[in-house]
Amino acid sequence: MGTQAAEKTVILNQPPDAPVPASVVVLRLQEFGRKPVAEQARLKGQLEALAAKALQPLAAGDRIVLEAPDALAVVVLERPQAALELAERCEAAATNLPLCIGVNHGPVRQANDPVRGPGIVGDGVATGMVLANAATPGRLLASRPFHEALEASSSHRAGDLAAAGELTDVNVRRHEIYTLKPRPAPSRSRRVLLLAGYGAVAVAAAALVARRLRREPPPPEPAAAPVAPRIAEQKPAPAPAPEPAPAPAPKPKPVVAKPAAAPARPPARPASVRFHIKPHGNVFVDGAAKGRTPPLSRIELRPGAHTIEVRNGEFPPLKLRVNLGEAEEMTITHSFVMPHQQKEGLIPRWRRKLGL
């Protein structure tokens, strides 16, 4: 994932402390620190291979790749639409990988740490990491600044993002979040079309049977009178009386096809929310107390919009507004620490990824 060309064309042509706007896609492995070392190495290798394939449509001069122990971040210097397409490719390829994706648009700048070497810092990377920490596998989260930048450059793609509520980070900053709108499953559409076709055929067949049954049977032919033979010296026998004609058969009643009853819709399956809170916290959902975590680790909620809040004494509370889908699983991970002064941007542990 060569990064040197990108630095020459965009970053290094600017003064060292001059920030530039860029889109940032953060790819984080869920619960990476809880896994054994061998499993961590395997997952990190899969993440790098996935990112290398997803980055192929982007030119080397249009992106910079950063790495952290449990994540990769891609600074996309092209249009925001390219960042959204990169995130979609990564999400589609992560079939067996617990990949959480956050997408943001904001200022970044070059930084040179005497210990860790050159890297990229700025609010663009910082907020991207916040969104990746709040995301769940298969449901990427994007920020409001990214949605606005996407709408300014590619309004048709901005319509693919739907508002998903708000979240508050450890520095008590509120972020409006967006997620991709669900796409209808093609298999369900095919089933609906097949059922409609079968219903039309059944109605046509029933109408045809009814028309045939309504037709009257043809009248019976009269029986021929027998001819008496002539016998010498005898009088001819009188002709027998004709037999009475049979009564006409009663008309059958037309058969009316009854429409098939619509199948009953199964009840909506509840969504599931898991908690990994350190050291502990009190959970409130829509203002109602649900218990203390730990030991509380999981609750079920009906699909729809909810406000989830976790409190711990004098610490700033964690407050999220979410819109849960049917049977959706979400994990909330948070550590209560006192807000501290940070340098501009984000995490000094980010460093440039070379040779990937």
7 Rama class: left (phi>0) / alpha (psi -120 to 50) / beta: alpha
- Sheet bearing 271-278, strands edge to edge: 298-301, 271-278, 329-335
- Nearest CA among 96, 88, 107 for reference residue 24: 107
Tell me the C-alpha distance between 303 and 84, whole Å: 26
Q: Choose between 240 and 344: higher pLDDT.
A: 240
- The pTM of this model reads 0.54
Neighbours of 248 (CB within 10 A): 10
For the chain, domains (ranges, CATH) are 4-181 (3.30.70.1230), 271-335 (2.60.40.2070)
Torsion angle defined by CA atoms of residues 328, 106, 95 and 303, in that order, rounded to the nearest 10 degrees: 10
What pLDDT, in 10s, does the model give residues 195-228? Answer: 655 566 555 666 665 566 565 555 555 555 454 4
> Do 165 and 324 contact (CB within 8 A), yes or no?
no
Coil, strand or helix at 120? strand
Q: Under 8 Å CB-to-CB from 68, ≥6 apart: which residues?
A: 347, 349, 350
134 Rama class: left (phi>0) / alpha (psi -120 to 50) / beta: alpha
> Do 285 and 299 contact (CB within 8 A), yes or no?
yes
What pLDDT, in 10s, does the model give residues 139-158? Answer: 889 999 999 999 998 888 98
What pLDDT, in 10s, does the model give residues 32-73? Answer: 988 899 999 999 999 999 999 999 998 888 888 988 888 999
* Least-confidence region, from 6-10, 256-260, 324-328: 6-10
